[in-house]
């Protein structure tokens, strides 16, 4: 008679059974629709708040947007930590969108730390880091199928365009070699 192999997951949708109670609770939070919808809403809010900035903005408005940015960055950091706790490093980083999210969170935290240093605050590179955080909108592609289709189409067209450019460069190289052989020494 064959040996019975224990199942690691309950019907494929529950947390792995070998996880501790704490990690199982983190798993339930990480895969919940509530976290998903809250995160999508806060991504939109974060984008709106980042678009509110303008030159010579009143100090009070700037302070409010900074507080909101800090709060949202803390939320996204906590979300990342919950998912890391639930899924573990390997499973978390198997998903390309999670890698992208971790990179955006790292940039966000770096920007907040640098903004807190008086000698660095107000320097141009910080605005580049802030602009990089706007890429978080692409996380909405998970929830918005049409955006996902557009992004995938753009990626396919970019790879096709790269191949076309390489083909044209190869053609130019061959044409220049033929030209040198035919007319180079006259």
Together in a domain, 112 and 159: no
Cα 30 from Cα 86, distance rounded (Å): 7
For residue 100, pLDDT over 50 is answered with yes
Q: In CATH, what number is assigned to the domain containing residue 76?
A: 1.20.120.350
43-57, 71-85, 117-131, 160-174: which is most confident? 71-85
Centre a 10 Å sphere on the Cβ of residue 4 and count the other Cβ atoms it contains: 6
Over the stretch 116-175, which tens digit does the pLDDT of each residue have?
Answer: 777 765 555 666 777 777 778 777 777 677 877 887 888 888 888 888 899 999 999 998
The tally of domains found in the chain comes to: 2
Closest CA to 134 of 62, 42, 46: 46
Residue 6, pLDDT > 60, answer no
Q: What is the pLDDT of residue 73?
A: 92
The range of the structural domain enclosing residue 86 comes to 8-139
- Alpha-carbon distance of 166 to 45, in angstroms, equals 41
pTM: 0.69
3-state secondary structure of 4: coil
Kindly report the backbone phi and psi dihedral angles of residue 151, in degrees, each rounded to the nearest multiple of 5, phi listed first.
-65, -45
- 113 and 30 fall within a common domain: yes
Rounded to whole angstroms, the Cα distance separating 110 from 129 reads 8
Residues 43 and 108 in one domain: yes
State how far the Cα of 152 lies from the Cα of 29, in Å rounded to an integer: 29
Residues in the chain: 186
Whole-angstrom Cα distance, residue 24 to residue 153? 37
Specify if 3 maps to a domain.
no
Q: 18 with 109, same domain?
A: yes
- Residue 151: exposed, middle, or buried by beta-carbon count in 10 A (0-12, 13-18, 19+)? middle
> 131: which residues sit within 8 A by CB, 6+ positions away?
none
If asked whether residues 179 and 127 sit together in one domain, one would say: no
Query: Is residue 2, in this structure, part of any structural domain at all?
Result: no
């Amino acid at each position: 008679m064959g040996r019975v192999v224990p199942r690691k997951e309950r019907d494929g949708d529950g947390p792995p059974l070998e996880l501790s109670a704490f990690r199982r609770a983190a798993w339930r939070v990480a895969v919940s629709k509530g976290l998903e919808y809250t995160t999508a809403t806060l991504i939109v809010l974060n984008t709106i708040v980042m678009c509110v900035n303008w030159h010579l903005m009143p100090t009070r408005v700037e302070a409010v947007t900074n507080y909101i940015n800090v709060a949202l960055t803390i939320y996204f950091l906590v979300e990342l930590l919950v998912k890391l706790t639930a899924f573990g490093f390997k499973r978390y980083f198997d998903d390309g969108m999670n890698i992208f999210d971790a990179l955006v969170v790292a940039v966000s935290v770096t920007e907040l730390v640098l903004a807190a240093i008086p000698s660095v605050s107000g320097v141009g590179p910080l605005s580049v880091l802030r602009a990089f955080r706007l890429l978080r909108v692409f996380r909405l592609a998970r929830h918005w199928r049409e955006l996902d289709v557009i992004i995938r189409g753009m990626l396919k067209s970019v790879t096709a365009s790269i191949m076309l450019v390489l083909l044209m460069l190869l053609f130019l190289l061959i044409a220049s070699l033929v030209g040198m052989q035919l007319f180079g020494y006259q």
